[in-house]
């Protein structure tokens, strides 16, 4: 950490987390979103968070068997919402999202998608295994079982693996612009992630948003369409 910032630490606040920054005699509280925009780039540049996560991954491999691990039930909850606004037909956007086996071809953060079960004619009951990689030095692998699917409207699945919970894509059209809303409500299962959550939670959210940002940009390029906006909540 360089001399510009004497101390940064995370404290609990009404909006989830805030950051108290002490710089010489100055004390200032910032919300999580302000913290992400102002400090995460600095941490990444200084390679602090990469080092912390890399070391945590090493420790995770040395922890006891999960059956005897006192931290095995300590799972942190997250809710991620991203909306892509793309000037493209809703049919084209839905087709790209529904056919997730093709995601690695255009979405570089998706390292692999493996089909484990086919499901019925609508895809209900199908299971696919996804491996993701963002800016930070870790990967997440989890299976998604489709439990709901409506053509040109929504698709929903239950995740198990490095994350547990539900994910849903919803689609609406407003004139020439299609809105693709992706929502995840999940818990993380890797012990190292849950141990670091108090410190690294804003980084995990930033990493997810970065993955979704690149995905929206990539989909627009693939469809040769204009990306109107990407919103994260």
Cβ count near 225 (within 10 Å): 18
CATH no., domain 75-232 = 3.30.530.20
State pLDDT tens for residues 131-173: 999 998 899 999 999 999 999 999 999 999 999 999 999 999 9
Tokens read off for 9:
């630490």
Residue 117 pLDDT > 60:
yes
Please, which residues bridge with residue 182 across strands? Answer: 82, 169
R_g of the chain computed on alpha carbons: 19
Beta strand segments in 39-162, E:
77-87, 110-117, 127-133, 139-150, 154-161
User: In the chain, what percentage of residues exceed pLDDT 70?
Assistant: 68
Domain ranges across the chain: 7-62, 75-232
Task: Please indicate whether residue 191 or residue 182 has the higher confidence score (pLDDT).
Answer: 182
What pLDDT, on the 0 to 100 scale, is given for residue 196? 84
């Amino acid at each position: 950490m360089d001399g510009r910032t004497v101390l940064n630490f995370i404290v609990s606040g009404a909006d989830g987390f805030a950051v108290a920054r002490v710089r010489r005699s100055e004390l200032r509280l910032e919300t999580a979103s302000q913290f992400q925009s102002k400090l995460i780039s600095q941490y990444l540049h200084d390679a602090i968070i990469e080092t912390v996560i890399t070391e945590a991954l090493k420790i995770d491999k040395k922890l006891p068997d999960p059956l005897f691990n006192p931290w095995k039930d300590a799972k942190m909850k997250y809710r991620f919402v991203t909306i892509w606004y793309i000037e493209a037909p809703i049919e084209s956007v839905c087709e790209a999202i529904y056919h997730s086996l093709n995601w690695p071809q255009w979405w570089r953060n998706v390292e692999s998608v493996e089909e484990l079960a086919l499901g019925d004619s609508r895809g209900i009951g199908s299971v696919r295994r996804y491996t993701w990689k963002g800016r930070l030095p870790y990967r997440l692998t989890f299976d998604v079982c489709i439990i709901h699917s409506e053509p040109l409207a929504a698709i929903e699945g239950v995740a198990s693996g490095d994350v547990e919970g539900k994910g849903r894509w919803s689609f609406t059209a407003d004139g020439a612009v299609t809105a693709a809303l992706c929502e995840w409500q999940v818990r993380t299962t890797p012990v190292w992630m849950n141990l670091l959550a108090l410190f690294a939670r804003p980084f995990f959210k930033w990493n997810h948003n970065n993955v979704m940002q690149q995905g929206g940009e990539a989909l627009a390029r693939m469809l040769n369409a204009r990306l109107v906006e990407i919103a994260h909540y």
